[in-house]
Amino acid sequence: MRSEGQGSFWGMAVLAAAIVVASWIGASALRAVKRAGDQIAVTGSARMTVSSDFAVWRCSVGGSGATAAEATAALTRDRDRLATYLKESGVGADAVTSQPLYVNGVNQYDAQGRDTGRVLRWDANQMVEVRSADVGLVAGLAGGVEKLMLDGVRLSPMAPEYLYTKLDEARVALMSEATKDALARAEQIAGAAGGRIGPIRDARMGVIQVVAPNSTNVSDYGMYDTSTRDKDVVAVVKVSFAVR
């Protein structure tokens, strides 16, 4: 049987061995960082909320008739009513453009799905586009268009697209903030291993993401949300720091 003194001796020996092993693991972690080319790579990010400063609104105007001429005439009448509405709303003529007119015949088919060679009617369509830095004006166009449609004007409006034209300026500011975030992360990691961060060895900025407020959606090719007037611009940068 072992005496109480012998038990204490072996307990102290095990404790001492554990301390030595723990110290060796900590030193190995620091050496591992050193062996990795004396540098550490981390990712930093930054986010900026911006308000759109440009808007685009598109609306398709349509007309139908027994002939191509009748369809075109019907479209022209409705397009003129839309033009009057835009002018009365304060949209300048220089902000409005119209795409080329498209006219096509709708063929008749029999019960077996065969083309009879007859044209049932002619359809005419044209896209009208409004581009303006007056974001509020463009955003308010939808309400009046609904009234025109209720009056029988053949329109197919699209949702406004809200854009931000100063992304280059935002990119510069965000890269600085993202780099600071990367530095803070690197210092935390190196400090835990007993090291210190040195100068930057390499920095690579990822694709800018323009997303809806508080959104976490990202894409390898970048995202550009146009559905919201306010949006977040997100930048990610990968930075390699020297480790001392």
Domain 54-163 has CATH 3.40.50.2020: no
Q: Cα torsion for 186, 187, 188, 191, to the nearest 10°?
A: 120
Please name the residues in contact with 153: beta carbons below 8 A apart, sequence gap of 6 or more: 78, 81, 82
User: Among 134, 155, 135, 133, which residue's Cα sits nearest to residue 144?
Assistant: 155
Measure the CA–CA gap between 67 and 121, rounded to whole angstroms. Answer: 7
Amino acid code (one letter) for 53: D
Averaged pLDDT, 99-112: 89
Domain regions of the chain by residue span: 1-35, 38-51+166-243, 54-163
Q: What is the pLDDT of residue 211?
A: 94
Token output for 130: 């409004």
The beta-strand segments (E) located in the chain are 39-51, 54-65, 96-98, 102-109, 115-132, 155-157, 161-163, 197-205, 209-211, 230-243
* Per-residue pLDDT tens digits for 127-179: 999 999 999 999 999 878 999 999 999 999 999 999 999 999 999 999 999 99
**DSSP β-bridge partners for residue 163:** 54
User: Among 96, 224, 213, 90, which residue's Cα sits nearest to residue 165?
Assistant: 224
- Architecture per CATH, 38-51+166-243: 2-Layer Sandwich (3.30)
Lowest mean pLDDT among 15-24, 72-81, 197-206, 231-240: 15-24
* The model's pTM: 0.75
Residue 37 banded pLDDT, cuts 50, 70, 90: low
141-150 and 68-88 are packed helices; what angle lies between their axes, rounded to 10 degrees? 140
Torsion over CA: 222, 226, 228, 229 (sign): positive
Please tell me whether residue 214 adopts helix, strand or coil conformation.
coil
